[in-house]
């Protein structure tokens, strides 16, 4: 059994009633998941396998708790007044008789990848460069080099600003301004940057 010294320290500092609870859970996790990894996450002992969290334990002033990382998927809800799904634990006898089975199920679940989240929206396609702006950049290599060196978000700001112009006169003014600013190495919203 590989023991993390920080977990040892956490258990030693826990309230006297909580130490046997934390040690019992630790012992059972190591028995059920022999290659478990111990660590401290969010200031509490946490047990992982292949970097994926299985469960965590915590000690408070008057109770201890066990939190199964993917407890909802195990069909377990957090108990009122407690951080974990097993409620406020005040003695080893408060631990469920099927603790080993719960740990095994949690370990198997942690090994499976969670369902990937769907992106909220599709990424924006890169904006088109207006032909007049491209021609102006060809005449000013310094401005073109500055635009090419910018991050994509900063290039997008210039391209969208010029592309949004409704009138040709407005677009031409924006192109002239953009060329001047780019020749000086300025980003589109340089006025708002802190010094």
Kindly report the CATH number assigned to the domain that includes residue 79.
3.90.1150.200
Q: Is residue 62 part of a domain?
A: yes
136 and 81, same domain (yes or no): no
Per-residue pLDDT of 27-36, as tens digits, reads 999 999 999 9
Burial class (CB in 10 A: 0-12, 13-18, 19+), 1: exposed
Q: Of 71, 106, 63, 70, nearest to 87 (Cα)? A: 63
Contact 46, 55 (CB under 8 A): yes
Tell me how crowded residue 56 is: count the other CB atoms within 10 A of its CB: 22
25 and 100, same domain (yes or no): yes
Contact 98, 66 (CB under 8 A): no
Q: Is residue 98 part of a domain?
A: yes
Q: Is residue 161 part of a domain?
A: yes
- pLDDT > 80? residue 64: yes
Q: Is residue 18 part of a domain?
A: yes
Question: Among all chains, which residue has been given the structure tokens 């023991």?
Answer: 3
Residues spanned by the domain of 103: 5-111
pLDDT given for residue 189 in this prediction:
86
Q: Is residue 166 part of a domain?
A: yes
- pLDDT > 90? residue 144: yes
Residues paired with 114 in a beta bridge: none
Q: Is residue 116 part of a domain?
A: no
Averaged pLDDT score across all residues of the chain: 89
Residues paired with 56 in a beta bridge: 46, 67
Instruction: Report the C-alpha gap between 113 and 52 in whole angstroms.
Output: 9
91 and 147, same domain (yes or no): no
Does residue 185 or residue 121 have the better pLDDT? 185
pLDDT given for residue 153 in this prediction:
87
Give the SS3 label for residue 55.
strand
pLDDT given for residue 175 in this prediction:
95
């Amino acid at each position: 059994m590989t023991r993390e010294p920080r977990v040892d320290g956490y258990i030693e500092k826990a309230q006297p009633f909580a130490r046997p609870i934390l040690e019992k859970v630790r012992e059972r996790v190591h028995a059920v998941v022999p290659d478990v990894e111990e660590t401290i996450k969010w200031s509490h002992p946490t047990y992982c396998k292949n970097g994926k969290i299985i469960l965590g334990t915590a000690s408070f002033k008057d109770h201890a708790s066990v939190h199964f990382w993917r407890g909802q998927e195990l069909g377990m809800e957090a108990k009122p007044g407690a951080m974990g799904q097993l409620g406020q634990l005040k003695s080893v006898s408060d631990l469920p008789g099927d603790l080993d089975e719960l740990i095994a199920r949690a370990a198997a679940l942690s090994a499976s990848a969670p369902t990937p989240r769907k992106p909220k929206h599709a990424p924006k396609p890169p904006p088109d460069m207006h032909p007049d702006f491209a021609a102006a950049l060809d005449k000013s290599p310094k401005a073109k080099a500055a635009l090419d060196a910018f991050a994509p978000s900063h290039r997008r700001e210039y391209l969208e600003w010029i592309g949004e112009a409704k009138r040709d006169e407005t677009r031409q003014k924006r192109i002239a301004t953009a060329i001047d600013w780019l020749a000086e190495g300025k980003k589109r919203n340089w006025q708002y940057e802190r010094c």
